[in-house]
């Protein structure tokens, strides 16, 4: 494996841990003389992290210029489009939940993610959306008393109406 | 003789319909709550506390003990089936159990988890009955110095050894330790690395991290088609657990070691089930003849961690019953129940109220026997989900992760944290970075910090205290020896692999010539 592919991660690790190490120094201002202070433990962890990154860099350099035969293989290829779409759907789910409410966000997410995962039967998707969402609401609102996001404005009214219709209140 | 007589009376009380019902109900609640991500065993004990106000002390405590024993086991079901550990203590079980599940050995893994958990719980309850007072005296001699040594032992043994690359394991470990320092520091009350974000002031919740790293990371990996091994078609019948009494025999030593670690570590106030599960898993990895199979579906690792988790329940009760000091968060809530009923747990409890005490101990023994059947039914119910197509299952896993993250503090920031760590979990899997050390660093790191700083404060920053106190020196010494032994084994293995490569190269040249 080329050094240009493997080196950036440990180098970034060294730079990040160095920056955080200096930031942690300011934490110790509160400590009395003779005390280790609140910055001691994070600094210890950051020193460990930086040293481990240096060791990884050395190993990578050795692989790049020496023992090429035992160099680890590249990870198998994956569908990048599905990965990006999957992360985007999950992100949108969390992003929209406070605005449109948990119910509508979950309905949209289940339908979209099932489709992305390969489900193509509309009745199956619809059935899972309906039964799954209602069951989740019963378990987590009626029994666990979880105050799930209801949404804003109109969406909140919709959520409350649905809760009343399902006898959740 | 008194102990036997009291135990018989205790059993006679525990099988009374009301008491028996409370144990069974507690187990059911505990197993289900333990299996749901975000609802920890502690949450479920706290949730049942108000219902105990109107009960007598014995049924109240039996209900809580049922929840306690069921809760520590419940998290392993979803860990094995879906890679979602219900509680941090179920993480080592998840590492091995989920891999066994992916190899088509679901019923074997579930059966082993049920049996080893019940065995650990049974033995620890018996230890509680027979050795509680002397053990409590011994455990009282432990200070933060010894606790620090135990935690370091757990950190070192699990994190660094057995991984394919020690450098990546160390990076992961120290990154986890650093993440564990984020939030308000306990001793000085200073906010560390919060960058002005209010939700970070209470720290990075390790449950959110666990759910993300394991469950979301796995879902993303399956979504893009990069799962490390092909998933065999698992029918419900195949996923149904069997009770592998005969399968346990070859694993008797991991079972005994795990239980012993659970009883001892669980008996140290403040250590608890999470530390004991990691320590026993690490110890098993050290002494195993096949350490390279750890993380790939090692039955011994699963048995050791699972037996130690439930093995710690009896140990934690020792402190509560004998000294009146709660040894864990769960027993702290139980102490609340004692006090609510006007009973002060402590040294006089065994002499003043032996019937109540031995009914509780008998209840623990019964709970672990009933748990075999309850766990079987619960595992079967969850295992039916294995027949659900991946498209549906993975979608609902993400929804459950949302709910699990949100349930922690009713805050969407925790859900964001869960999802972000999910993406990190995917990246770590993709580039073969070990996840286990990160989790270890995050969970055990803050404990190690607290014990270390307190020890230093109490001993004028004198580091030699860790080697001058005998118990601490022994624990650290064993740890160092095991680490050196494992490193030597790894170096030897690497050397022979290189020699094999050279030999192969020479053979090829000879054949070509």
What is the distance between the alpha carbons of residues B254 and B115, in angstroms, rounded to a whole number? 13
Mean pLDDT of B465-472: 88
Residue ranges per structural domain of chain A: 3-70, 80-165
Between B146-160, B298-312, B498-512, the lowest mean confidence (pLDDT) is in B498-512
Query: Each residue of B359-396: pLDDT tens digit?
Result: 888 999 999 999 888 888 888 787 777 677 888 988 99
Please tell me what DSSP assigns to residue B290: -
Contact state of A34 with B461 under an 8 Å Cβ cutoff: yes
Query: Each residue of B445-460: pLDDT tens digit?
Result: 888 898 898 898 888 8
Place of tokens 């219900």: B86
* Residues B119 and B380: beta-carbon distance below 8 Å: no
Contact state of A72 with B432 under an 8 Å Cβ cutoff: yes
H/E stretch holding B448 = helix B436-458
How close does chain B come to A62, measured CA to CA in Å? 13
Mean pLDDT of B80-101: 85
Mean pLDDT of A76-94: 90
Contact state of B39 with A144 under an 8 Å Cβ cutoff: yes
Nearest Cα neighbor of B54 from B22, B15, B9, B14 is B22
Burial of B106: CB neighbours in 10 Å, binned 0-12, 13-18, 19+: buried
Contact state of A30 with B167 under an 8 Å Cβ cutoff: no
* pLDDT tops 60 at residue B512: no
**More confident site: B397 or B240:** B397
Please tell me what DSSP assigns to residue B105: -
Provide the token pair at A13: 């690790």
What pLDDT, on the 0 to 100 scale, is given for residue B230?
Answer: 45
B133: how many CB neighbours lie within 10 A of its CB? 13
What pLDDT, on the 0 to 100 scale, is given for residue B54?
Answer: 75
Does any CB of chain B come closer than 8 Å to the CB of residue A117? yes
Q: Which residue of B has its CA nearest to A13?
A: B171
Q: Of A30, A69, A80, which is closest to B188 when you measure between CB atoms?
A: A30
Contact state of A94 with B170 under an 8 Å Cβ cutoff: no
* Residues B318 and B267: beta-carbon distance below 8 Å: yes
What pLDDT, on the 0 to 100 scale, is given for residue A148?
Answer: 92
Q: For B473, what's the count of Cα atoms within 13 Å in the CB-facing half-sphere?
A: 7
Nearest 5°: phi and psi at B38?
Answer: 95, -25
* pLDDT tops 70 at residue A158: yes
* pLDDT tops 70 at residue A74: no
B103: how many CB neighbours lie within 10 A of its CB? 16
* pLDDT tops 90 at residue A14: yes
Query: Each residue of B422-445: pLDDT tens digit?
Result: 999 999 888 878 887 888 788 888
What is the distance between the alpha carbons of residues A21 and B319, in angstroms, rounded to a whole number? 40
Mean pLDDT of A130-155: 90
Task: Look over chain B and give the mean of its residue pLDDT values, rounded to a whole number.
Answer: 81
Mean pLDDT of B220-240: 62
What is the distance between the alpha carbons of residues A109 and A128, in angstroms, rounded to a whole number? 11
Residue B192: partners with Cβ closer than 8 Å, 6 or more residues away: A24, A27, A38, A39, A42, B181, B182, B183, B184, B185
What pLDDT, on the 0 to 100 scale, is given for residue B78?
Answer: 84
Does any CB of chain B come closer than 8 Å to the CB of residue A99? no
Kindly indicate the confidence band of residue B513, based on its pLDDT and cuts at 50, 70 and 90. Answer: very low
On chain B, the residues whose CB falls within 8 A of the CB of A52 are 167, 170-171, 173-174
For A125, B30, B148, B493, the CA distances from B67, given in Å and listed in that order, are 36, 4, 29, 46
Kindly indicate the confidence band of residue B269, based on its pLDDT and cuts at 50, 70 and 90. Answer: low
Query: Each residue of B196-224: pLDDT tens digit?
Result: 888 888 888 877 888 888 888 888 988 88
How close does chain A come to B471, measured CA to CA in Å? 24
* Residues B72 and B41: beta-carbon distance below 8 Å: yes
3-state secondary structure of A112: helix
Does any CB of chain A come closer than 8 Å to the CB of residue B467? no
What is the distance between the alpha carbons of residues B394 and A110, in angstroms, rounded to a whole number? 10
Kindly indicate the confidence band of residue B500, based on its pLDDT and cuts at 50, 70 and 90. Answer: low
* pLDDT tops 50 at residue B231: no
What pLDDT, on the 0 to 100 scale, is given for residue A73?
Answer: 59
């Amino acid at each position: 494996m080329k050094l240009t592919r493997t080196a950036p991660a440990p180098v970034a690790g060294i730079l990040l841990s160095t920056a955080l190490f200096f930031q942690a120094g300011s934490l110790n201002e509160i400590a009395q003389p003779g005390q280790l202070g609140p910055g001691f433990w994070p600094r210890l962890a950051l020193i460990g992290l930086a040293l481990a990154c240096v060791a990884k860099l050395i190993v990578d350099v050795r692989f790049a210029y020496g023992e090429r035969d035992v160099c680890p293989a590249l990870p198998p290829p994956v569908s990048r489009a599905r990965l990006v779409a999957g992360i985007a759907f999950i992100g949108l789910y969390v992003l929209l939940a406070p605005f449109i409410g948990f119910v509508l966000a979950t309905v949209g997410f289940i339908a979209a993610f099932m489709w992305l995962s390969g489900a193509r039967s509309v009745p199956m998707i619809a059935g899972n959306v309906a039964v799954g969402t209602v069951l989740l609401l019963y378990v987590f609102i009626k029994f666990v008393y979880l105050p799930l996001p209801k949404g804003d404005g109109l969406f909140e009214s919709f959520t409350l109406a649905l809760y009343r219709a399902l006898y959740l209140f | 003789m008194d102990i036997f007589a009291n135990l018989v009376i205790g059993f006679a009380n525990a099988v009374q319909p009301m008491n028996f019902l409370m144990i069974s109900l507690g187990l059911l609640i505990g197993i289900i709550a333990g299996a749901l991500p975000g609802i920890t065993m502690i949450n479920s004990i706290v949730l049942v506390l108000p219902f105990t106000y109107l009960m007598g002390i014995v049924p109240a405590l039996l209900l809580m003990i049922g929840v306690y024993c069921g809760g520590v086991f419940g998290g392993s079901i979803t860990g094995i089936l879906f890679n979602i550990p219900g509680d941090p203590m179920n993480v080592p079980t998840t590492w091995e159990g989920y891999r066994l599940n992916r190899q088509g050995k679901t019923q074997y893994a579930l059966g082993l988890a049920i049996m080893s958990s019940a065995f650990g719980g049974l033995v620890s309850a018996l230890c509680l009955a027979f050795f509680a007072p002397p053990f409590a005296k011994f455990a009282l001699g432990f200070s933060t110095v010894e606790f620090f040594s135990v935690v370091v032992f757990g950190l070192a043994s699990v994190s660094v050894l057995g991984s394919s690359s020690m450098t990546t394991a160390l990076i992961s470990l120290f990154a986890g330790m650093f993440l564990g320092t984020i939030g308000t520091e306990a001793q000085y009350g200073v906010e560390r690395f919060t960058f002005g974000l209010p939700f970070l002031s209470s720290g990075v919740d390790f449950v959110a991290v666990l759910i993300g790293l394991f469950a979301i990371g796995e879902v993303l990996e399956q979504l893009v088609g990069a799962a490390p091994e092909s998933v065999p078609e698992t029918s419900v019948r195949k996923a149904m657990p069997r009770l592998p009494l005969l399968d346990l025999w070859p694993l008797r030593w991991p079972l005994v070691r795990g239980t012993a670690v659970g009883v001892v570590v669980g008996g140290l106030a403040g250590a608890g089930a999470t530390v004991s599960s990691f320590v026993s898993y690490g110890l098993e990895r050290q002494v195993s003849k096949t350490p390279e199979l750890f993380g790939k579906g090692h039955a011994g690792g699963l048995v050791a961690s699972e037996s130690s988790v439930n093995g710690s329940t009896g140990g934690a009760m020792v402190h509560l019953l004998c000294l009146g000091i709660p040894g864990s968060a769960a027993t702290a809530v139980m102490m609340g129940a004692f006090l609510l009923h006007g009973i002060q747990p402590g040294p006089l409890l065994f002499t003043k109220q032996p019937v109540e005490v031995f009914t509780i101990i008998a209840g623990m023994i019964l709970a672990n026997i009933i748990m075999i059947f309850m766990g079987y039914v619960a595992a079967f119910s969850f295992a039916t989900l294995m027949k659900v197509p991946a498209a549906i299952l993975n979608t609902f896993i993400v929804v459950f992760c949302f709910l699990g993250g949100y349930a922690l503090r009713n805050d969407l920031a925790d859900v964001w944290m869960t999802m972000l760590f999910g993406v990190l979990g995917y990246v770590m899997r993709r580039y073969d970075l070990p996840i286990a050390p990160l989790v270890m660093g995050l969970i055990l790191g803050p404990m190690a910090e607290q014990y270390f700083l307190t020890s230093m404060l109490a001993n004028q920053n004198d580091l030699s205290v860790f080697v001058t106190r005998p118990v601490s020196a022994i624990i650290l010494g064993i740890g160092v020896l095991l680490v050196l032994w494992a490193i030597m084994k790894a170096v030897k293995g690497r050397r022979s692999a290189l020699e094999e490569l050279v030999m192969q190269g020479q053979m090829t040249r000879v054949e070509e010539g």
